């Protein structure tokens, strides 16, 4: 394998993300790709099919597993076929809900060299939406006012997606975000903790201290408890970083995502060092 380089597949979070995982003026996956390339590590990032081919998705049958797993596995296979890539040193990096499903990707492909979780969520979507909106409602100015006005709608949305009778609904029953019951039922049934405990690959977990979407107490500590005692798990916390791993100060706010920034260089350096040690 002389001359071949390690590679990372970047798996974006919820929503119809492009390959850069663009949020407002920020492009965290582009930052990761450029930064890791400087360390001699290749990356493969891709537009989600919900971004490029939404008409190809049948809401009656589309699931959260289908959103994340098949395309990531295809990306891994593509990398293995490249002559410049070391096939024994391919990693999966998932951000946010992409991180939630990264253990399942690793379970489906035991040949992966390792798994990297960036702000990976364990909290249910409904609980997270309520918690985030309640937090935003405490903020000053228009941000807090808009969140307070939005809370009743969020409560109704959560009641829909966490309906215990989803399996009894018609596959064509309208659900939030253009999905069907199958999507939310798959989220209810997926157990990321069971998945992460089942994999043998080493795991790197990164978390921002200013992240109010995925938090240390609600998410990171759940991963830590699940993986307690494993010597091949590494955790890094960046106290000033938000959900996109961009540094900031003061109480975190949705306004953070309207300001241009770049991924914390320490995050890129820590990922590179961990990959280089495998």
Rounded distance, CA 120 to CA 151, Å? 24
The single residue of 96, 109, 219, 264 carrying the catalytic annotation is: 96
Contact by Cβ (8 Å): 109, 35: no
Q: Is 170 a catalytic residue?
A: no
Where helices occur in the chain by DSSP H, the ranges are 28-37, 49-52, 64-80, 97-108, 125-137, 141-161, 181-189, 192-198, 221-226, 265-276
The single residue of 31, 121, 243, 264 carrying the catalytic annotation is: 243
Q: Is 217 a catalytic residue?
A: no
Q: Is 253 a catalytic residue?
A: no
Rounded distance, CA 170 to CA 98, Å? 28
Contact by Cβ (8 Å): 45, 17: no
Rounded distance, CA 219 to CA 119, Å? 8
The single residue of 211, 219, 241, 264 carrying the catalytic annotation is: 211
Rounded distance, CA 87 to CA 112, Å? 9
Beta strands in 96-173 (DSSP E): 114-118
For 125, the token pair is 């979507």
Contact by Cβ (8 Å): 120, 100: yes
Catalytic center residues: 96, 211, 243
């Amino acid at each position: 394998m002389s001359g071949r380089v390690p590679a990372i597949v970047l798996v974006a979070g919820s929503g119809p993300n492009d390959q850069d995982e663009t949020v407002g003026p920020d492009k965290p996956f582009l930052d990761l790709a450029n930064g890791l390339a400087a360390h001699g590590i290749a990356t493969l990032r891709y537009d989600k099919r919900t971004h490029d081919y939404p008409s190809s998705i049948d809401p009656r049958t589309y699931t959260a597993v289908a959103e994340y797993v098949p395309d990531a596995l295809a990306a891994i296979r593509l990398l293995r076929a490249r002559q410049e890539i070391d096939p024994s040193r391919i990693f999966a990096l998932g951000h946010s809900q992409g991180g939630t499903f990264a253990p399942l990707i690793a379970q489906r492909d035991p040949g992966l060299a390792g798994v990297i979780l960036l702000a990976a969520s364990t909290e249910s979507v409904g609980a997270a939406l309520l918690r985030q909106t309640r937090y935003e409602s405490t903020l000053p100015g228009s941000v807090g006012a808009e969140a307070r006005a939005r809370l009743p709608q969020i409560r109704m949305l959560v009641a829909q997606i966490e309906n215990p009778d989803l399996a009894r609904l018609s596959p064509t029953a309208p659900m939030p975000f253009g999905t069907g019951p199958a999507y939310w039922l798959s989220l209810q049934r997926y157990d990321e903790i069971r998945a992460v405990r089942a994999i043998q690959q080493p795991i790197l977990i990164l978390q921002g201290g200013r992240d109010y979407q995925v938090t240390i107490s609600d998410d990171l500590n759940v991963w830590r408890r699940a993986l307690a005692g494993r010597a091949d798990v590494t955790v890094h916390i960046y106290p000033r970083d938000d959900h996109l791993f961009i540094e900031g100060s003061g109480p975190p706010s949705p306004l953070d995502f309207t300001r241009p920034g770049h991924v914390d260089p320490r995050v890129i350096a820590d990922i590179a060092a961990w990959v280089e040690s495998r």
